[in-house]
């Protein structure tokens, strides 16, 4: 009996070993909706400490550092979209009066709004000197939720190493097939409504070792002679099964590629929102 069991076990091992390995495109199409679904389930239950370092590289040459409590909220409208929300705590080392509201209270109030609330968040950053701020960076991976995935065209471009020289990555170029409102929102005072949603193309990196999302990069079309570049880095979270943002970069560029504005975002380890007192 034991010999029969061993023979069955050996046959099972050989069967698994003979299965064809997933192609890079199969890995991508499995990873993106899985990561988006996991993020949508747990992101609104977590918070982080966000630091924004702003550099105005134009003639003004101004720099600023803003620190905020940072989280996500699900909108109470027909879309049910998940948006980022922040409560400003410090500007250039000086505390900001935030009143008695908690981040959770701010998030709940924000959930009742729409694009107007998004614009208010961006206007708040502009008030403190953050020029050309971009919104909804942290949840950029939600562009690739299962219902939206057919709206993109993907192309495998090969295997690369992480910028730090670490893990091997599978890289994929992508672009939207249609002109739906996806992914990229930038505040520009003086433009229509203050909020721009330019078309874009980008690259996604998936870690080869464990098929986890590692990075999304976007490059926008030029609007009024300027274009946007955004990069968001993700890592698996200890607080939930999802990957969460650890860093982001936003650059406002001249059409010739010269950087006008640079905003760097760094996120501390995400924790349960209930711990934010």
User: What is the rounded average pLDDT of the residues 206-229?
Assistant: 87
Instruction: Determine what percent of the chain is predicted with pLDDT higher than 90.
Output: 39
User: What is the rounded average pLDDT of the residues 222-242?
Assistant: 87
The whole-model pTM stands at 0.81
**C-alpha 165, offset from chain centre:** 22
Separation between Cα atoms, residue 205 and residue 264, nearest integer Å: 20
Q: Can you read off the two tokens belonging to residue 235?
A: 């890592």
Q: Is the pLDDT of residue 17 over 60?
A: no
Residue 81's pLDDT band (cuts 50, 70, 90): confident
CATH no. of 22-275? 2.50.20
- Alpha helices per DSSP H over the chain: 2-17, 24-42, 103-111, 115-127
Cβ-based neighbours of 144, under 8 Å, separated by 6 or more: 32, 33, 35, 36, 152, 204
Per-residue pLDDT at 70: 92
Q: What is the mean pLDDT of the chain?
A: 79
Per-residue pLDDT at 50: 96
Separation between Cα atoms, residue 227 and residue 259, nearest integer Å: 10
Of 129 and 273, the structure prediction assigns the larger pLDDT to 273
Q: Is the pLDDT of residue 39 over 60?
A: yes
User: What is the rounded average pLDDT of the residues 156-180?
Assistant: 83
Per-residue pLDDT at 110: 60
Q: Which of 64, 59, 55 is nearest to 261 (CA)?
A: 55
Q: Is the pLDDT of residue 249 over 70?
A: yes
Q: Is the pLDDT of residue 10 over 50?
A: no
**43-80 residue pLDDT tens:** 999 999 999 998 888 756 678 899 999 999 887 776 67
| Residue 134: other Cβ atoms inside 10 A | 26
Per-residue pLDDT at 9: 46
Cβ-based neighbours of 10, under 8 Å, separated by 6 or more: none
């Amino acid at each position: 009996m034991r010999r029969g069991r061993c023979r069955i076990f050996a046959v099972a091992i050989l069967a698994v070993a003979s299965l064809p390995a997933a192609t890079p495109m199969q890995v991508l199409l499995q990873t993106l909706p899985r990561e988006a679904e996991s993020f949508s389930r747990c992101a609104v239950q977590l918070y982080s400490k966000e630091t924004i370092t702003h550099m105005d590289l134009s003639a003004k040459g101004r720099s600023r550092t803003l620190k905020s409590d940072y989280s996500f909220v699900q909108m109470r409208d027909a879309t049910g979209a998940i948006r980022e929300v922040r409560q400003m705590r410090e500007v250039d080392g000086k505390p900001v009066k935030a009143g008695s509201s908690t981040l959770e209270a701010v998030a709940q109030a924000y959930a009742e709004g729409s694009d107007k609330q998004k614009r208010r968040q961006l206007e708040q950053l502009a008030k403190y000197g953050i020029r050309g701020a971009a919104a909804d960076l942290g949840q950029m991976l939600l562009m690739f939720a299962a219902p939206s995935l057919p709206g993109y065209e993907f192309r495998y471009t090969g295997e690369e190493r992480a910028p730090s020289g670490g893990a091997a990555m599978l890289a994929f170029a992508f672009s939207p097939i249609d002109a739906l409102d996806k992914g990229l929102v930038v505040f520009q005072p003086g433009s229509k409504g203050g909020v721009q949603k330019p078309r874009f193309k980008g690259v996604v990196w998936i870690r080869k070792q464990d098929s986890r999302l590692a990075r999304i990069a976007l490059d926008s079309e030029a609007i009024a002679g300027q274009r946007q570049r955004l990069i968001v880095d993700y890592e698996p979270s200890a607080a939930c099964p999802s990957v969460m943002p650890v860093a982001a970069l936003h650059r406002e560029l001249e059409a010739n590629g010269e950087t006008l504005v640079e905003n760097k975002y760094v996120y501390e380890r995400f924790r349960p929102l209930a711990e934010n007192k």
